[in-house]
Chain A
Amino acid sequence: MTITQSLGVVTGSTVRAKNVFKDIGAAFKNMAGGEIKAYTELLQESRNEALFRMLNDAAARGANAVVNVRFATSSVAGGAAELLAYGTAVVAQ
């Protein structure tokens, strides 16, 4: 496979907040420390969503691949997290 054309940077992002019930469960788990499964799953889901949006952006430009994908995460105030996925959309043959 060789890259024949570069179509620029594509991004996808999503901001997610935890729901109250999961928050309560997490607060209990916080007492004991260790892994908080509710948050792990939530972040996994949101990251897949961000990735999906990035791929949609790439498909809209007519790319068939995205290379050098990176993730960035920042926590917005109030317990919400912003997840960003970005990469270079390319045409590969």
Chain B
Amino acid sequence: MARGEEEPFVGLIIAVIVAACTVGPWLLSLVATFLYQPRKRKVLLERETQAALKGDALTTLSKPFGNREIKQTKMMMANVVMSPSWVQMAIGNFMSLFGGQINVFTKVVDWARREAQQRLREQVAEEGFDEVINMRIETTMLTSTRGGKDKTSGVEILAYGTAIKY
């Protein structure tokens, strides 16, 4: 009799554990996508705005403007690895059935590129350089192998250039 009373209770616990293992990560992913990520992007936008007030330090020119004498040069680089969340991957995979622009992926890659450039700007300002010339951006897909299939786990953006001091 006692055994019969226990069973629904044990079943309930198992059901809760199973639910936590299957739905839990997705719920966490959903929260991260719509709360955590926008907050991070907002912080980045603020940093960018701060940097933009002084004029953009990055250029892709091979020589700086004007005839000012350059006192010091140094190669600098900044990188960042970004990955889309599960929810974004799911939305992206679904949207790729129809083709066209896939907004969720655009957002992640754009974010990563801006972050890398902003880090380069901050690094340059921190070390007392005035400008970066010949800046280049490099993109790499990072993959991880799961079950014999290559799965994209992130995208790496590297921004590098020559920092100069007048």
Task: Please report A residues at the B interface, Cβ cutoff 8 Å.
Answer: 23, 26-27, 29-37, 39-40, 43-44, 47, 69-75, 77-79, 81
Task: Give the total number of A-B pairs whose CB atoms are below 8 A apart.
Answer: 99
Q: Is the CB of B86 within 8 A of A30?
A: yes
Q: Is the CB of A39 within 8 A of B142?
A: yes
Could you list 14 A-B pairs, sorted by A, with CB under 8 Å? A30-B153, A32-B36, A32-B85, A33-B29, A33-B33, A35-B115, A47-B158, A71-B77, A71-B158, A77-B143, A77-B145, A78-B145, A79-B142, A79-B144
Q: Is the CB of B143 within 8 A of A79?
A: yes
Instruction: List the A side residues contacting B142 at CB < 8 Å.
Output: 39, 75, 79, 81
From A32, A35, A79, name the one whose CB has the most chain B CB atoms within 10 angstroms.
A32
Q: Which residue of A lies closest to B24 (CB)?
A: A31
From B81, B82, B84, B143, name the one whose CB has the most chain A CB atoms within 10 angstroms.
B81
Q: Is the CB of B145 within 8 A of A33?
A: no
Q: Which residue of B lies closest to A44 (CB)?
A: B79
Instruction: List the A side residues contacting B156 at CB < 8 Å.
Output: 39-40, 43, 73, 81
Q: How many residues of B contact A (CB 8 A)?
A: 36
Q: Is the CB of A72 within 8 A of B138?
A: yes
Q: Which residue of B lies closest to A71 (CB)?
A: B138
Q: Is the CB of A75 within 8 A of B88?
A: no
**Cross-chain contact of A47 among B77, B86, B150 (Cβ < 8 A):** B77
Q: In the bound complex, how far is the Cα of B6 from the Cα of A50, in angstroms?
A: 62
Instruction: List the B side residues contacting A26 at CB < 8 Å.
Output: 83, 153-154
Q: In the bound complex, how far is the Cα of B29 from the Cα of A32, in angstroms?
A: 5
Shortest CB-to-CB span from A70 to chain B, Å, is 7
Take A71-B160, A75-B143, A77-B145 as given contacts and tell me if A33 and B88 are in contact as well, using a CB distance cutoff of 8 Å.
Answer: yes
Take A34-B83, A35-B80, A36-B82 as given contacts and tell me if A73 and B138 are in contact as well, using a CB distance cutoff of 8 Å.
Answer: yes
